[in-house]
């Protein structure tokens, strides 16, 4: 048997997170999937594993729902042992910034998408732009984009404390980057909310770029 791991997220309005939790639980059981999922009113975030035929059936099932039809699925080979059980939780956010009173809905406020190809073209053009790495410092040490601004974070929730350090870029073209896209999206909205005027987010995160340009500008 061949197994597959799916990693995905989607910022989209989920009117009833508890009802969505039950629906997802039914899907997990129907397709023999294991993994973890966070559901909030602002969207869904998950990593799961199953046999390839089952994970592909799950993708088809999800694609029938117009809210999830354009999810960017990240697929990798599994071993059938990535997750011991089903873990689906309802929370206030699908990725936590801990903003409390300063929180916002990424479905309403976010940066514009930039594709891997478009970012590569920016690098090749020599235009002025700034890549802001929204991962933690451990991830940054593994590798990062050429000339990226590395936010000195142990945890994504530290971003609000660091935004003043990049305030001089409010009128510059900035691109938020992260591993898979979810933190880029939340971070881009946070920058827009705080007065940054030309904000982009890397669609699909660094994974999407490295797949196409593994040895260029990284």
- Catalytic residue IDs: 178
Q: Are 181 and 9 in contact (CB under 8 A)?
A: yes
Which residues have CB under 8 Å from 126's CB, separation 6+? none
Residue 25: helix, strand or coil by DSSP?
helix
- Give, as one character, the DSSP assignment of residue 172: S
Q: Read off the DSSP letter of residue 101.
A: G
């Amino acid at each position: 048997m061949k197994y597959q791991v799916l990693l995905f997220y989607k910022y989209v309005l989920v009117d009833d997170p508890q009802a969505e939790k039950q629906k997802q639980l039914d899907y997990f059981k129907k397709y023999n999937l294991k993994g973890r999922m966070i559901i909030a009113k602002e969207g869904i975030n998950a990593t799961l594993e199953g046999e390839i035929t089952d994970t592909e059936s799950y993708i088809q099932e999800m694609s029938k729902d117009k809210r999830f039809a354009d999810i960017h699925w990240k697929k990798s080979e599994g071993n059938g042992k990535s997750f011991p059980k089903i873990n689906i939780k309802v929370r206030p956010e699908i990725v936590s910034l801990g903003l409390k009173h300063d929180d916002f809905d990424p479905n309403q406020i976010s940066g514009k998408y930039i594709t891997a190809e478009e970012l590569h073209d920016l690098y090749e053009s020599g235009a002025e732009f700034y890549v802001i790495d929204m991962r933690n410092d451990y991830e940054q040490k593994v590798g990062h984009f050429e000339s990226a601004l590395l936010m000195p974070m142990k945890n994504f929730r530290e971003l609000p404390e660091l935004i003043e350090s990049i305030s001089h870029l409010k009128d510059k073209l900035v691109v938020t980057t992260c591993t898979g896209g979810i933190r880029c999206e939340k971070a881009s909205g946070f920058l827009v909310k705080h007065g940054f005027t030309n904000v982009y987010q890397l669609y699909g995160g660094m994974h999407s770029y490295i797949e196409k340009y593994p040895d260029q500008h990284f």
